[in-house]
Structure formats: C-alpha cells, structure tokens
C-alpha cells in the first residue's frame, strides 16, 4: 500500500520519470476475457496459443499428379521409361487410405493423403498415361511435391506466444489450427477528467473568455487507437473537493485516470493537492524536464495510475504521447518488444526546413509538417507556436524529439519524425 506523499516538488528527466512510473505499475491484476477469434484483431493475447495436432496431420500431395515410390523410378528416362500400374485415384476428400506395391502408382489431387509406401508425387507432365498404366519419363527425389506430417507445426508446440498484438494473419492462423475462441487481455478503461472554470461542453456556445472542452476528445481518439476504452467525465470546475470527488469516482470504474488541466502551480490548479489528499496515494513526479508539458503529474491512487496532463492542447497531447501511451500499452498487456514498438510507433526520416532553438536541460518535442520536394526528399517544417494553438496540432504530421543536452538543430539536419 502507498503512503501519501507530501513533497512539494518531484522533478526529474523524462527517461527516469517514465521508467520509474512503468516499473511501479503492477501487471498482476490485469484481467482477461474469452472472445471469438474472428473478433480478436489487434487484441493482446493473454496466454500462449498451442498447436492441437500436427500440421499437416498426414503426408499429403502438394500438386496434382501420381503418388509413387521414388526408388522404383530412380533409373527411368525418356528413352527407357518405367511402367507403373495406376491402381486408384484419390482426392482431398478421400478418407480411406490405400497402399502401393512395386510397379504401382495412385493418381492424386492436391491435398490428398499420400498412399502407404509412396514417398513422392510426380507431375502429370512427366508421364504418359495409357488406360490404367503410366510411363514415367523422369525420376524424382524422395519427398518431391509432398508435405510431410508435422512439417509445418508439431502438436503441443507454441504457435503464438502470449502478449502478441494479433494481426490479420495471426487471426487466420489461429482459426486454421482449430480455435474458435481466444483468451485476450481486457481493454483498459481510461477515464478522462477535463478541469477548468473556463471550459464549456461541446454543445454550448462559448463566451469570449470561455473555451470549448476539446482535449478529452483528442485523448479519447488516441486511447481507442491504442486499444483502450475511453470515458470522458463531465467538466470539473476549479474546486479542490470537486476534483477529489471526480478522481475517486473515476477510479472505481477505470484502470487509468487522466486529469486534463489543473496540474501547474497556479492558485486554481488543484490536481496535485487533490491527489495528495486522497488515501493511499503516491506522487512519482510532478514536474518533468520536458517541453512542452513540464507540469505533468505522475501518481498512483489505490495502486492505479493517475496522470495529470497540462491543459494547453499541444502540451496535453505531447505529454500523453510521451507518458500516457506507454502506460496504456502496459495496462493492455503489450510488452515493450522492439518489433511491436516499431509497428505501433511509426517513424520516418526527414530533413529540417529551418533552424530550431531548444532550451538546454529540457527534452524538447517540436511539431512538424511534412512535405515532399521535387527531388523526392521529405522536408520537415517545424511549428514553434504557443502550446495553446490548436491549429498547429491539426496542421502537423508528427513530432521531432530534441535531447535535453542539445540546444538546437540546423536547417538541413536529418531528423526522425514520430508520426501521430
């Protein structure tokens, strides 16, 4: 159980804050559910998928042709063909297995089981058929055009390891080996609490000093893209007791709570004090060396993560991408494997259109718009406007991270752009 943390400020680097926070999230209480495999696309496997039976379950023909024993036609040629008697014809639906002896063959269709004593399939193009006999004009090696039992999968081996985010081919593969249902992690439920006296709902015409509450819908979209379920709470005014009550209620139905706004040090910023006053709370960090969004709050209440995000749109979204996204992925059961991270986090290289200045000591995230020049190079045009400017979020295609020890980048520098 956590004890209430009464420190005034806990400031740290982005890396240390994120690692400490992720390490403190317990995976012991992550729940699962059984769902239809056909509905499992992009869900996270809770347990390994095991192979039930060998695949293929028997030796089978890979082409239409004649099943033969390769040793009996080892010395055949066009000038000295081997003659074999065709004793049967079978296809993929034939259930009764036959057998061949010396100088015999069976006509087979693709997918049919291989007769006993046969080890190869010879193409119809390499034989001449005359009534119930064939003249074999070409020798074959053992195993030619045959899929051996268990060659693809062996019973009781792991087909797909747990924690995989299922792709279309995974869904098809699981169905193909005989599963109708699959056990997956439940989608994390995330409550979003918008705070601020200046906020009004989306169906209210704002006065000149009011702002339509839009951050929650941006966060909701990202959460659902990442496989979570988002709930936007009613707007909470700048009141300590209201903020406390709203967080407590959200924790009852959520795996993660995001408080949008009220995380700075102003007289109307109550998120930090609200969390401090809740029982069984712990503050991991309430100031991080990042721009924009240094006033981010990383905390736990009742062992559940609660993140306080800055209210300005750019800071809000940047803070969520840096901190909220990794937390949500962990709660969803997704391991931080390199290939899954590469697949979920799309990055590309671009060339900077102009110089960017950056404050030393803060990890800087700069929004960029991407265009392709006449030579086919991708050019990144930075937006360095205020963090309250909605337009820069809509017009930008991604962000460029500038390390804390770097004071800027130059025109023409090659940069890595994280797309969003």
The pLDDT score that the predictor gives to residue 116 is 95
Q: Is the pLDDT of residue 16 over 80?
A: yes
Residue 267 CA to residue 406 CA, distance in Å, equals 33
41 within 8 A of 175, measured Cβ to Cβ: no
- Picking from 261, 159, 153, 174, the residue whose alpha carbon sits closest to that of residue 215 is 261
Among all chains, which residue has been given the structure tokens 């960090």?
Answer: 285
Q: Mind listing the domains of the chain with CATH numbers?
A: 11-31+187-338 (3.40.980.10), 36-55+161-185 (no CATH), 60-147 (2.170.190.11), 346-419 (2.40.340.10)
Cα 356 from chain centroid (whole Å): 32
Q: What is the pLDDT of residues 34-73, one digit of tens each?
A: 999 999 999 999 999 999 999 999 999 999 999 999 999 9
Residue 42 CA to residue 31 CA, distance in Å, equals 17
Check residues 11 and 290 and name the one with the higher pLDDT.
Answer: 290
399 within 8 A of 367, measured Cβ to Cβ: yes
Q: Is the pLDDT of residue 209 over 60?
A: yes
The pLDDT score that the predictor gives to residue 3 is 41
Cα–Cα distance list, 99 to 105, 244, 276 (Å) = 9, 78, 79
Residue 85 CA to residue 129 CA, distance in Å, equals 10
User: Can you tell me the mean pLDDT for 250-274?
Assistant: 89
136 within 8 A of 80, measured Cβ to Cβ: no
Residue 272 CA to residue 66 CA, distance in Å, equals 78
User: Can you tell me the mean pLDDT for 377-406?
Assistant: 86
Instruction: Report the phi/psi class of residue 120: left, alpha or beta, with left for phi > 0 and alpha for psi in -120 to 50.
Output: beta
| HSE-CB for 178 with a 13 A CA cutoff | 11
Q: pTM of the prediction?
A: 0.83
Which range, of 3-12, 50-59, 141-150, averages the lowest pLDDT? 3-12
CA 78, 82, 83, 87 dihedral sign is negative
192 within 8 A of 228, measured Cβ to Cβ: no
């Amino acid at each position: 159980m956590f004890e209430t943390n009464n420190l005034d400020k806990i400031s740290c680097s982005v890396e240390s804050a994120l690692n400490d926070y992720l390490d403190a999230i317990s995976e012991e209480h992550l729940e699962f559910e059984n769902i239809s495999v056909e509905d499992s696309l992009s869900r996270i496997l809770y347990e390994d998928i095991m192979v039930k039976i060998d695949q293929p379950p028997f030796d089978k023909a890979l082409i239409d042709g004649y099943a033969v024993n390769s040793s009996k036609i080892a010395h055949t040629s066009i000038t000295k063909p081997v003659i074999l008697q065709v004793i049967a014809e079978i296809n993929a639906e034939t259930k009764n297995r036959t057998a061949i002896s010396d100088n015999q063959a069976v006509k087979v269709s693709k997918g049919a089981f291989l007769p006993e004593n046969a080890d190869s399939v010879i193409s119809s193009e390499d034989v001449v058929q005359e009534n119930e006999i064939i003249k074999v004009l070409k020798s074959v090696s053992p195993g030619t055009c045959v899929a051996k039992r268990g060659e693809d999968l062996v019973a009781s081996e792991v087909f797909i390891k747990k924690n995989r985010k299922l792709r279309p081919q995974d869904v098809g593969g699981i169905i193909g080996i005989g599963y109708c249902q699959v056990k997956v992690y439940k989608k994390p439920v995330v409550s979003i609490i918008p705070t601020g006296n200046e906020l009004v709902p989306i169906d209210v015409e704002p006065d000149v000093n009011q702002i339509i509450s839009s951050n929650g819908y941006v966060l909701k979209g990202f959460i659902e893209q990442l496989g979570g379920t988002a709930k936007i709470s009613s707007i909470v005014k700048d009141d300590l007791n209201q903020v406390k009550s709203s967080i407590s209620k959200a924790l009852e139905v959520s795996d993660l709570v995001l408080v949008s706004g009220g995380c700075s040090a102003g007289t109307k910023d109550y998120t930090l004090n609200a969390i401090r006053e809740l029982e069984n709370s712990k503050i991991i960090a309430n100031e991080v060396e990042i721009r924009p969004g240094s006033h981010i709050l990383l905390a736990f209440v009742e062992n559940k993560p609660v993140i306080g995000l800055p209210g300005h749109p750019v800071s809000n979204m940047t803070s969520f991408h840096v901190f909220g996204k990794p937390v949500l992925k962990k709660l969803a059961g997704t391991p931080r494997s390199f290939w899954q991270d590469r697949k979920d986090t799309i990055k590309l290289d671009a060339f900077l259109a102009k110089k960017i200045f950056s404050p030393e000591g803060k990890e800087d995230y700069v929004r960029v718009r991407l265009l392709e020049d006449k030579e086919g190079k991708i050019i990144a045009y930075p937006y360095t406007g205020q963090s309250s400017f909605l337009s820069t979020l809509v017009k930008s295609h991604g962000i460029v991270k500038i390390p804390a020890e770097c004071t800027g980048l130059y025109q023409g520098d090659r940069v890595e752009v994280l797309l969003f």
